[in-house]
């Protein structure tokens, strides 16, 4: 039995969800309860839920019944097609087994301590006696965890360079026009659109690079810049050695499957962003 359906045209629902996702979900929850069904063009019905028990069932369900990778396909243009978030079946199990040793035992405790330190640093800066937005604060904590725990960066120059790149990429990846297009276009068409950002786009006699005005081309160039920086960081670590490093990127560089094969740099890049 399906949950209550939002009685509005699919295109209108998609526009509302991409333009104001929090407002869209809040209003739908107030009207239809903590589980409701939305319809978007060229897409099967989408069920939203905030019910804790239903969420638990989804996260503990059988992978042959619940295809999380297929459901996360909208995120492909941001995380890359090799991301664990987009894989199902044997591919998902293979990559997950390679990543699992990085998230075990004492190592997870050390990651937890590092995350706590990052949260404490941000919380200590919170103002007292006046309201403020939590979004930017939580973003600072998340970025700090990614840069130090996941990527293992410690030099100030590298930290700031990656921080600026990731902030810009996160901001662009949630641009309403990109979310709207990713829901309407097949993944192949979306990748083709993003690939336009690799070359300048000039119209007629205009000498200016018009592609800079388009969020999808800016995101494409930014993603390439992030990947180039990650590939350079991995090349440097291979040259100097990763023994003794506890960050997740270094663990993934040492990971091998049952046949002794390592992850590709592209897969590691997708796994860490």
Residue-wise pLDDT tens digits, 212-241: 557 777 887 888 888 888 899 999 999 988
- Which H or E element spans position 38? strand 35-38
Chain segment 101-127, per-residue pLDDT in tens: 767 777 778 888 889 999 999 999 999
For the ranges 45-59, 185-199, 244-258, which has the lowest average pLDDT?
185-199
* 4 and 33 Cβ atoms separated by less than 8 Å: yes
Which residues are paired to 38 by β-bridges? 46
**Three-class SS of residue 246?**
coil
Residue 109's CB: how many other CB atoms inside 10 A?
A: 9
Enter the tokens of residue 15.
């526009």
Chain segment 77-105, per-residue pLDDT in tens: 666 666 766 777 788 777 777 777 767 77
Q: Please provide the DSSP assignment of 52-98 as one string.
A: HHHHHHHHHS-TTT--HHHHTGGGHHHH-TT-GGG--HHHHHHHHHH
Within 70-219, strands assigned E span none
Q: Give mean pLDDT, residues 264-272.
A: 74
């Amino acid at each position: 039995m399906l949950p209550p359906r939002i009685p509005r045209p699919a295109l209108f629902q998609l526009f509302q969800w991409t333009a104001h996702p929090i407002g869209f979900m809040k209003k739908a929850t107030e009207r239809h309860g903590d589980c409701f069904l939305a319809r978007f063009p060229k897409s099967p019905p989408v069920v939203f839920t905030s019910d804790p028990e239903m969420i638990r069932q989804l996260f503990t369900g059988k992978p042959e019944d619940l295809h999380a990778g297929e459901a996360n396909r909208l995120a492909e243009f941001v995380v890359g097609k090799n991301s664990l978030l987009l894989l199902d079946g044997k591919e998902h199990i293979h990559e997950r087994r390679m990543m699992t040793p990085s998230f075990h035992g004492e190592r997870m405790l050390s990651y937890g301590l590092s995350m706590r330190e990052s949260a404490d640093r941000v919380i200590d800066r919170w103002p007292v006696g006046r309201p403020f937005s939590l979004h930017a604060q939580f973003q600072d904590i998340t970025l700090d965890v990614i840069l130090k725990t996941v990527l293992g960066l410690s030099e100030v120059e590298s930290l700031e360079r990656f921080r600026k790149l990731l902030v810009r990429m996160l901001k662009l990846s949630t641009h309403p026009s990109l979310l709207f297009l990713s829901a309407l276009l097949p993944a192949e068409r979306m990748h083709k659109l993003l690939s336009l950002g690799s070359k300048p786009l000039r119209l007629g006699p205009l000498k200016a690079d018009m592609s800079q005005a388009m969020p999808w081309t800016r995101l494409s160039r930014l993603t390439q810049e992030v990947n180039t920086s990650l590939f350079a960081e991995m090349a440097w670590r291979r040259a100097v050695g990763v023994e003794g490093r506890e960050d997740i990127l270094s663990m993934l560089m040492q990971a091998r499957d049952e046949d002794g094969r390592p992850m590709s740099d592209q897969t590691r890049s997708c796994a860490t962003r």
